[in-house]
């Protein structure tokens, strides 16, 4: 009896979901929940069958090169099949695929590298599809609002695509971001489907636990679907970072913006990972990396308002007419707002890692939700470095290509522990991990990942946050004065230390 109730309940829910999707998406057949669920189900079956037939069909000696090679083959086939599903179902699936493509030090490289294509080559809709959204939201014909609306998008992402156009009334050149027509209507059904798929995969493969990713996507998606919120984020970060003269945040044209259409100032430049563009325009990659390092260190440790999608398509660089290097930050839909306590604990964790203070690493990892010996894996996830480098001192050893390959090849051996960390860590940490990995990936591409400047700036920001929190917790003027003196002393000591490391490394690597 119970089984029948469950069976008909699932069937009824799926049929209702299908009807809701059709209604919400102008009765487009591709939005039918049953079709999307079938696509996902077939993909999961195919992936499971690949592993069962090619990897789990016998007991392996996991120390052999034969096992390692076969595992790579299976990961690659599975990743390609997952990418096929993502491109078929689009929308939320692309968002999750992009998230996977950002977790460079947490997931097998075959999945990460395969999904990276979604950061710049997401499937696109026709201009007529977008015009329908504009017409519905602005209650005007798009041709009455825009001149020269270019058919080829400047960029296509998981939830929207951006086109260059000109406003009829002012003649201003603008970038028009329009939400994909079917994303909102499909989102509820897609999240339920992905949750079911993740639970099924975790049942088939106990090492596979991506429930944390589903939960994060469910929490963040409604926020990202509201383009008016994105406009407010852009204005908030522009105000917060107005002292950075090298930073450009496009201005919002509010009179033409809705929750599905965002019209903003058009800016032009090369992607932050385009070394050829930088060389052609005489832009120094080290200067760009220093700007980004300073920006994100202050966002994370000092201000607590963090742009959490810094993939290369969202950061442009250019030379100003005066010859200065300019960094342009785009796509402000996803931000982390960090509490004071989280920033204090996270700052203390980083300072303990830089000091190679294992008891403090354990203490502040525990404050962030990581218990027991998992603090070691957590420190590796935070830094993107192996445990040997953490113990030696990440500011005293250089990250290398071979080190990165070692991390990625060993990731699958500790997937259960990584999944455990991601399941229990403070939820504020999840987007920070993604942000860290994206920034590290940019620095690796630019060849600037071993800058002492980055450690120096981050250390200063951590010290500032720690002492600010301590000063806020005391009412004694004498204690505040003593803390201020101690902070100044620590900044001086830090400056001398990193100057020493810079001189030492200059001699070693010259």
Helical packing angle, 340-355 and 452-472, nearest 10°: 130
Rounded CA separation 57/59 (Å)? 7
Residue 207 to residue 71: CA distance in whole angstroms: 14
**Spatial contact of 247 and 330, defined as CB atoms under 8 Å apart:** no
| Helix or strand holding residue 92 (H, E) | helix 92-102
Q: Report in angstroms the alpha-carbon separations of 503 from 396, 494, 498, 509.
A: 12, 14, 9, 10
Distance CA 259, CA 238 (A): 20
Among residues 265, 210, 251, 239, the alpha carbon closest in space to that of 99 is found at 210
As given in the structure block, the two tokens for residue 10 are: 């699932």
Give the Å distances, CA to CA, from 475 to 141, 344, 472, 489. Answer: 61, 19, 8, 22
Please, which residues have CB within 8 angstroms of residue 146's CB and are 6 or more apart in sequence? Answer: 165, 166, 167, 168, 174, 176
Q: Where are the beta strands (DSSP E) in 191-285?
A: 247-248, 261-265, 270-271
Give me the count of residues in the chain.
510
Number of H helices, E strands in the chain: 21, 11
Active site residues: 309
């Amino acid at each position: 009896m119970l089984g029948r109730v469950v069976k008909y309940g699932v069937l009824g829910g799926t049929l209702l979901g299908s009807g809701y999707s059709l209604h919400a998406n102008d009765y487009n057949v591709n939005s039918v929940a049953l079709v999307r669920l079938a696509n996902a189900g077939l993909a999961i079956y195919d992936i499971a069958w690949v592993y069962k037939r090619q990897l789990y069909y016998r007991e392996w000696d996991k120390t052999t090169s034969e096992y390692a090679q076969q595992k790579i083959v299976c990961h690659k086939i599975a990743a390609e099949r997952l990418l096929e599903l993502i491109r078929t179902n689009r929308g939320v699936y692309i968002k999750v695929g992009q998230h996977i493509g950002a977790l460079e030090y947490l997931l097998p490289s075959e999945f990460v590298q395969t999904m990276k294509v979604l950061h710049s080559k997401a499937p696109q809709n026709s201009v007529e599809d977008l015009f329908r959204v504009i017409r519905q939201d602005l209650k005007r014909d798009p041709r009455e609002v825009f001149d020269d609306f270019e058919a080829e998008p400047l960029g296509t992402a998981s939830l929207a695509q951006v086109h260059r156009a000109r406003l009829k009334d002012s003649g201003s050149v603008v970038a028009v971001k329009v939400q994909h027509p079917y994303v909102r209507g499909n989102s509820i059904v897609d999240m339920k489907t992905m949750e079911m798929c993740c639970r099924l995969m975790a049942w088939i493969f106990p090492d596979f636990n991506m429930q944390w990713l589903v939960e994060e996507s469910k929490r963040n998606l409604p926020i990202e679907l509201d383009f008016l919120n994105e406009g407010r984020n852009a204005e908030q970060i522009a105000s917060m970072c107005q002292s950075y003269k090298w930073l450009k945040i496009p201005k919002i044209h509010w009179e033409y913006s809705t929750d599905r259409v965002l019209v903003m100032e058009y800016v032009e430049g090369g992607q932050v990972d385009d070394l050829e563009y930088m060389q052609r325009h005489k832009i120094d990659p080290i200067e760009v990396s220093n700007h980004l390092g300073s920006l994100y260190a202050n966002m994370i440790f000092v201000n607590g308002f963090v742009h959490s999608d810094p993939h290369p398509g969202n950061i442009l660089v250019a030379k100003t007419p005066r010859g200065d290097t300019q960094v342009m930050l785009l796509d402000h839909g996803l931000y982390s707002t960090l509490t004071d306590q989280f920033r204090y604990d996270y700052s203390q964790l980083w300072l303990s890692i830089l000091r190679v203070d294992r008891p403090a690493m354990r203490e502040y990892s525990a404050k962030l939700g990581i218990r027991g010996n998992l603090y070691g894996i957590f420190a590796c996830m935070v830094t993107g470095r192996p445990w040997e480098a953490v113990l030696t001192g990440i500011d005293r050893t250089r990250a290398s290509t071979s080190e990165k390959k070692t991390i990625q090849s060993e990731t699958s051996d500790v997937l259960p522990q990584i999944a455990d960390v991601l399941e229990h860590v403070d939820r504020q940490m999840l987007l920070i991990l993604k942000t860290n990995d994206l920034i590290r990936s940019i620095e690796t591409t630019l060849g600037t990942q071993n800058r002492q400047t980055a450690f120096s700036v981050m250390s200063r920001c951590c010290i500032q946050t720690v002492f600010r929190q301590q000063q806020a917790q005391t009412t004694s003027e004498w204690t505040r004065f003593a803390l201020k003196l101690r902070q100044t002393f620590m900044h001086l000591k830090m400056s001398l230390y990193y100057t020493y490391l810079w001189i030492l490394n200059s001699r070693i690597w010259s």
